[in-house]
């Protein structure tokens, strides 16, 4: 006699008892991911000085990490379909912390880049799986708010991690101590993540073979709405990483000549992403995706242009607007991927994040080429072009709020 089929528990809504532990757990995961992923970003001037290289070459310490993550997100998502969301996330973050500590000990730039690439590959098990976990457990009408809290963890990890790195590097005079410090802090957040995040309630293992995986990939890429969401993630992330990779060089040079520790505090602007993410997710749940995406891209473009000013406060205000626009667009696009994909969510999330981190690698590197050729104005011009493309893509998105978007283009 066959066993009765047990119905999956109802998805969680904001206010339900299980909603908060999930949000808090994924917040810690988001913190750890961004703190480790971009740990070398505020250290780029120090790497240029240590190895006598160019800003573009030093930026590879960021680009190889995000490129490796982009390559790993889909395989990691497939593993999570077999072994479960939570185990894959735990092992992913554990490996990344160990590799982060090893990177602090790397004797040369070549080995540092290898270890940073392996760190990115290890981190691949978190972003796509975290998004799929949320889409599994949270009711679609409340997914925007939950995804906002997860992205808020990214933003706190972004500015908190960079502040720690900048402060330790300034106090010790060593970028190695800075990398070790952020790896240890990430280890503490990993412990909190494991303690808080509950096991999946609604996930059911469904091992994905190679042919089935390729079928999922083809199915998602055939969906024009998903393709546009992937493109938006790629473009806005390229802008964001480009801005923060090279603004440190701008602020250290004339006419500003800010001390390195003061420049490190520019990453506090990531805090704006925390507030933006939670509020934007709820706004998109109410008014629709297209309007919020267009508004976010417009705000980012205004901010990018404002950084051309010779007044420090305008540069900082412009960077703040760019940050708000980026986090708003990313929150809305990532939540919409979870809504749109009614099958193979881990694969859909993996495709989105693969595009997102390709944008980080390519945008960060090409922005360095522009910076080397004609300085900050060329970098700003490059960012504005990417934002113009993102606006053109967003214009074609359906404008519905909540639930599943209509099929087709």
Mean pLDDT of the chain: 84
Q: Got the DSSP string for 119-186?
A: HHHHHTTTHHHHHHHHHHHB-GGGHHHHHHHHHHHHHHHHHHHHHHHHHHHHHHS-HHHHHHHHHHHH
Share of the chain above pLDDT 90, in %: 36
- Output the CA–CA distances (angstroms, integers) from residue 244 to 21, 240, 268, in the order listed: 32, 6, 12
Instruction: Please provide the DSSP assignment of 262-326 as one string.
Output: HHHGGGGGHHHHHHHHHHHHHHHHHH-HHHHHHHHHHHHHHHHHHTTSSSHHHHHHHHHHHHHHH
Question: For the chain, how big is the Rg over CA atoms in Å?
Answer: 20
For 178-219, the pLDDT digits (tens) are 999 999 999 999 999 999 888 777 767 666 667 777 888 888
Hey, which of 17-31, 32-46, 117-131, 227-241 has the most confident mean pLDDT? 227-241
Residue 71: its H or E element: helix 60-83
Question: CA dihedral in degrees (184, 185, 191, 192; nearest 10)?
Answer: 180
Burial, 51: exposed, middle or buried (Cβ in 10 Å; 0-12, 13-18, 19+)? Answer: middle
CA pair distance 171, 369, nearest whole angstrom? 31
pLDDT at 1 over 50: no
Q: Which residue is associated with the tokens 């009408």?
A: 141
Model confidence band, residue 405 (pLDDT cutoffs 50, 70, 90) = very low
Mean pLDDT of 288-315: 93
Q: What is the model's pLDDT at position 76?
A: 82
- With both helix axes pointing from N to C terminus, report the angle between 270-287 and 143-172 in degrees, rounded to the nearest 10: 170
pLDDT of residue 404 exceeding 90, the answer is no
Q: If you average pLDDT over residues 24-32, what whole number do you get?
A: 87
Neighbours of 305 (CB within 10 A): 17
Which range among 48-57, 290-299, 366-375, 393-402 shows the weakest confidence by mean pLDDT? 393-402
Mention every residue, 6+ apart, whose C-beta is less than 8 A from residue 398: 225, 289, 290, 405, 406
Cα 58 to Cα 52: distance, rounded to the nearest angstrom: 9
Contacts of 201 (CB under 8 A, 6+ apart): 8, 9, 18, 137
pLDDT the model gives residue 256: 92
Lowest pLDDT segment from 25-39, 304-318, 335-349, 385-399: 335-349
* Cβ atoms 356, 234 nearer than 8 A: yes
Strand partners of residue 12: 138
User: pLDDT value at position 2?
Assistant: 46
Cα(294)–Cα(296) distance, integer angstroms: 5
Q: What is the pLDDT of residues 74-93, one digit of tens each?
A: 788 778 877 888 889 999 99
pLDDT in tens, 255-278: 999 887 788 788 788 777 667 776
**What pLDDT score does 15 carry?**
64
Whether the per-residue pLDDT at 3 is higher than 80: the answer is no
Identify the pLDDT of residue 274.
67
pLDDT band, very low/low/confident/very high, at 64 (cuts 50, 70, 90): very high
Q: Each residue of 359-395: pLDDT tens digit?
A: 988 888 899 889 989 999 999 999 999 999 999 999 8
- Give the pLDDT confidence score for residue 191 in this predicted structure: 94
The pLDDT of 91-108, averaged and rounded, is 94
Q: Hey, which residues does 138 pair with through a beta bridge?
A: 12
Note the pLDDT of residue 208: 63
**pLDDT range class, residue 250, cuts 50, 70, 90:** very high
Taking the CB of residue 124, how many other CB atoms lie within 10 A of it? Answer: 28
Q: Indicate if the pLDDT at residue 307 is higher than 60.
A: yes
Which of residues 26 and 154 earns the better pLDDT score?
Answer: 26
Q: Is there a contact between 261 and 166 (Cβ–Cβ < 8 Å)? A: yes
**Burial 202-216, CB ≥16 within 10 A → b, else e:** ebeeeebeeeebeeb
Q: Which of 159, 147, 158, 163 is nearest to 329 (CA)?
A: 147
Distance CA(19)–CA(25), nearest Å, equals: 10
Instruction: State the Cα–Cα distance between residues 62 and 120, nearest whole angstrom.
Output: 9
In this structure, are residues 333 and 293 in contact, taking their beta carbons and an 8 Å threshold? yes
């Amino acid at each position: 006699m066959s066993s009765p089929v047990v119905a999956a528990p109802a998805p969680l809504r904001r206010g339900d008892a299980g909603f908060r532990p999930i949000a808090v757990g994924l917040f810690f995961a988001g913190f750890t991911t961004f703190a480790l992923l971009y740990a070398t970003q505020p250290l780029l001037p120090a790497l240029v000085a240590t190895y006598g290289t160019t800003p573009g070459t030093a930026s590879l310490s960021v680009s190889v990490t995000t490129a490796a993550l982009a390559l790993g997100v889909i395989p990691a998502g497939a593993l999570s379909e077999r072994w479960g969301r939570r185990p894959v996330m735990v092992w992913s973050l554990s490996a990344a912390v160990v590799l982060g500590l090893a990177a602090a000990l790397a004797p040369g730039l070549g080995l540092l880049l290898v270890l940073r690439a392996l760190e990115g590959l290890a981190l691949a098990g978190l972003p796509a799986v975290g998004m799929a976990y949320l889409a599994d457990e949270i009711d679609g009408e409340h997914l925007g708010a939950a995804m906002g809290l997860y992205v808020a963890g990214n933003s706190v990890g972004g500015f908190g991690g960079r502040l720690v790195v900048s402060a330790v590097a300034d106090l010790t005079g060593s970028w190695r101590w800075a990398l070790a410090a952020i790896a240890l802090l990430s280890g503490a957040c990993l412990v909190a993540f494991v303690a808080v995040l509950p096991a999946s309630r609604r996930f059911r293992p469904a091992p994905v073979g190679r042919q089935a995986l390729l079928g999922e990939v083809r199915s998602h890429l055939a969906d024009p709405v998903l393709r546009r969401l992937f493109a938006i993630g790629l473009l806005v992330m390229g802008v964001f990483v480009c801005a923060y990779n090279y603004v440190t060089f701008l602020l250290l040079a004339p006419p500003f000549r800010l001390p390195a520790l003061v420049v490190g505090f520019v990453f506090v602007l990531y805090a704006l992403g925390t507030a933006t993410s939670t509020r934007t997710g709820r706004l998109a749940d109410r008014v629709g995706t297209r309007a919020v995406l267009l508004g976010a891209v417009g705000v980012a473009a205004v901010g990018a242009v404002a950084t051309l000013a010779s007044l420090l406060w305008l540069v900082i205000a412009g960077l703040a607007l760019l940050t708000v626009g980026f986090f708003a667009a990313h929150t809305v696009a990532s939540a919409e991927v979870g809504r749109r994909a009614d099958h193979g969510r881990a694969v859909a999330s993996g495709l989105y994040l693969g595009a997102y981190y390709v944008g980080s690698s390519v945008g960060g590197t090409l922005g360095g080429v522009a910076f080397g050729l004609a300085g900050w104005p060329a970098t700003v011009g490059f960012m504005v072009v990417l934002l113009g493309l993102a606006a053109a893509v967003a214009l074609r998105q359906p404008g519905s709020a909540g639930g599943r978007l209509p099929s087709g283009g």
